[in-house]
Structure 1
Amino acid sequence: MSQPKSESVPTKLADSGKPPALSITNLQAWYGESHILHNVNLSVNAGEVVTLLGRNGAGRTTTMRAIMGLTGTRKGSIKVNGVETIGLATHKIAHLGLGYCPEERGIFSSLSTEENLLLPPSVSKTDKGMSIAEIYEMFPNLEERKHSQGTRLSGGEQQMLAVARILRTGARLLLLDEISEGLAPVIVQTLARMILLLKEKGYTIIMVEQNFRFAAPLADRFYVMEHGQIVETFAASQLQEKMPVLNTLLGV
C-alpha cells in the first residue's frame, strides 16, 4: 500500500528552525532474513504525543525497537533532534535522551521497587531526570511498595515502575509500548494522567497502543501501520472523520 502524503509541520514549530525530536525516513528493518519494515516515514515534534496504531504484527513494536537499534539490519534514516542514529549502538542512541519502555517491562525481580528506581544511570547531560520524591508524587502506589520486591508487585504497579524508571534517567523522548495492556481501568486512568502531566512538562512521547480508547484522547497525532508500512496518518482534530478508515484498518 502506498505511503500517505507527508504532513505539513505546524507553523510555530516550523518557524522555530529546530529539527523534529524524531524523524524517520524510508526506514527498513529486518530480523535475520525476515524483512519487517518497508520504507517507514514518520516525524514527531518536540512536546507531541504520537500514537502508532495497527493490528498485532503490523510492525509497530519493530519500529520502536528499530529506533533504539534493537533489530537486525536497519536501512534508511532515523534522526533524533537532527542527529543521525542509523549507525549508532543502542547505548549511544539512549544517551541522546531516549527512554524505551518495552511491553515486557524488564523489572528486576530480585530488587525492591526503590532499588529498581535507583538503578538506571542518567542518559542526559542536561537533564538529571525526576527525583525519587517526584516519582512518588506521581505514583503514590510505588512509595507504598518501595520496599517490596519486583515479583511482589501487581501488573499495574510493575508498569508504573517500568515507566518511572525511565523518567529517572533524564530521557525526554519516551517510547512506550502497550503500557495499558491487561491492566485494570483504575491503573489505565493513572497512566493516562501521567501522560498528560508529562506532556505539560514538555516530554515527547511515542506510544504503541492496542487500546484505542486509551490512546484517542491523549495523542496529538496518529500513524496507522499495516504490513510494516505507514498506511494512514492524521491529527487528533481529524479523528472523527477518520473513524470509518480506522474501523476498516483496526476493527475498533
Structure 2
Amino acid sequence: MASPALDIRDLHAWYGESHVLHGVDMVVHPGEVVTLLGRNGAGRTSTLRAVMGLTGARRGSIRVNGQETIGLPRHRIAYTGIGYCPEERGIFASLSTEENLLLPPVLKGQGPGMGLAEIYALFPNLAERRHSPGTRLSGGEQQMLALARILRTGAKLLLLDEISEGLAPVIVQALGRAIGLLRDSGHTVVLVEQNFHFAAPLSDRFYVMEHGRIVEHFGARELQAKAAALAELLGV
C-alpha cells in the first residue's frame, strides 16, 4: 500500500508562547480531496502553516509521502513535493501574469510540472491576461494565478487556504472544476474552507477542528447525516 500523501500525528504548534495546535492527527491519501472545516480561529490555517514549517515551534510528526519533515528547513519541505497557496496569494506587482507563472522553479525529483499550455487550458482567464501586471488581475484571476504558479513546480500535494473567499460565483465554479480535474490527474488536495457549499461536492473526506484540535472526522457518504450538526457548528 502506498504511503499517505500527508500523515500528521500528535502535532503541536506554537506562535511564540501561544500554543495553537493541540495534538492534531490527520491522514490524507494520494488522490484525495480532504477538507478541514471549522470556524475562524479553530486552527485550520495554523495546521497548513505548521506543515510548511511556518509556525514557531512544532512537536509531533508530519510525514509527506513517507518522509518525516519535522525538523526540516522550510525550503527542504517544499522539495518533498508539497505546494501551499495561502490566503494572501503573494502575486508580484512588478511582473506580468506570465512572468509570475515562470518565476518558481520546477522541484527536483518531482517530475515536470504543468507547462504554460496546460495551465492556460485549465485557466483560460490567465491566457487572456498573460501580459497584464499580476496585481491588475481581478481577485479571482489572482487566485487562479496563485494556484497555477504552484502547479508549474510539479508539486502533487496541494494545501489550499480559503481559495474561494470573496470571489464571484462564476470564479468559484471555475476553481471547483479545476480542483476536480487536478484530483482526476493524480493531485492530492487539502482544502481549508469556510465555504462549505463549495467544498462539500469536491471532498472525499472531512476533518472538523475546534480550538486547535480535531473533533470530528467523516467521509463524504456520511455528509448528509452530519449536515444538521455541521450547520450549527459552522453557522452555515
For the criterion TM > 0.5, the same-fold answer is: yes
Aligned with residue 192 of structure 2, among 208, 222, 241? 208
Q: Which residue of 2 aligns with 1:131?
A: 115
Q: How many residues are matched?
A: 236
Q: Which residue of 2 aligns with 1:163?
A: 147
1 CA distance for matches of 2:160 and 2:120?
20
TM-score normalised by length of structure 1:
0.92
Q: Which amino acid aligns with 2:93?
A: S
Deviations 1:42-86 (A, max 9, x none): 000000000000000000000000000000000000001111101
- The reply to whether residue 99 of structure 1 matches residue 83 of structure 2 is yes
- 2:110–2:155 Cα contact (<8 Å) kept: no
- The reply to whether residue 122 of structure 1 matches residue 109 of structure 2 is no
2 CA distance for matches of 1:68 and 1:210?
21
Q: Which amino acid aligns with 1:233?
A: H
- The reply to whether residue 59 of structure 1 matches residue 46 of structure 2 is no
2 CA distance for matches of 1:220 and 1:127?
26
Report how far residue 124 of structure 1 moved: 3.9
Q: Which amino acid aligns with 2:25?
A: N
Aligned with residue 125 of structure 2, among 111, 130, 141? 141
Give the percent of matched residue pairs that are identical in Structure 1 and Structure 2: 71
Q: Which residue of 1 aligns with 2:205?
A: 221
Aligned with residue 84 of structure 1, among 38, 44, 68? 68
1:128 match: secondary structure: coil
- The reply to whether residue 108 of structure 1 matches residue 87 of structure 2 is no
- The reply to whether residue 39 of structure 1 matches residue 39 of structure 2 is no
Q: Which residue of 1 aligns with 2:3?
A: 19
1 CA distance for matches of 2:213 and 2:108?
32
1:188 match: secondary structure: helix
2 CA distance for matches of 1:41 and 1:181?
26
Deviations 1:25-45 (A, max 9, x none): 000000000000000000000
- 1:47–1:202 Cα contact (<8 Å) kept: yes
Q: Which amino acid aligns with 1:238?
A: E
1:147 match: secondary structure: coil
Q: Which amino acid aligns with 2:184?
A: E
- The reply to whether residue 189 of structure 1 matches residue 173 of structure 2 is yes
TM-score normalised by length of structure 2:
0.99
Q: Which amino acid aligns with 2:196?
A: F
Report how far residue 122 of structure 1 moved: 1.2
- 1:29–1:35 Cα contact (<8 Å) kept: yes
2 CA distance for matches of 1:18 and 1:218?
23
Report how far residue 247 of structure 1 moved: 2.1
Q: Which amino acid aligns with 1:217?
A: P
Q: Which amino acid aligns with 1:157?
A: E
- Which moved further from structure 2: 105-114 or 116-125? 116-125
Aligned with residue 159 of structure 2, among 171, 175, 197? 175
- 1:96–1:124 Cα contact (<8 Å) kept: no
1 CA distance for matches of 2:115 and 2:56?
35
CA change 1:151–1:126 in 2 (3 A) is closer
**What are the ranges of 5 or more consecutive residues in structure 2 without an aligned counterpart?**
none
1:37 match: secondary structure: strand
Deviations 1:192-233 (A, max 9, x none): 000000010010000000000000000000000000000001
- Which moved further from structure 2: 96-105 or 240-249? 240-249
Deviations 1:147-193 (A, max 9, x none): 00012111011000000000000000000000000000000000000
CA-based RMSD: 0.7
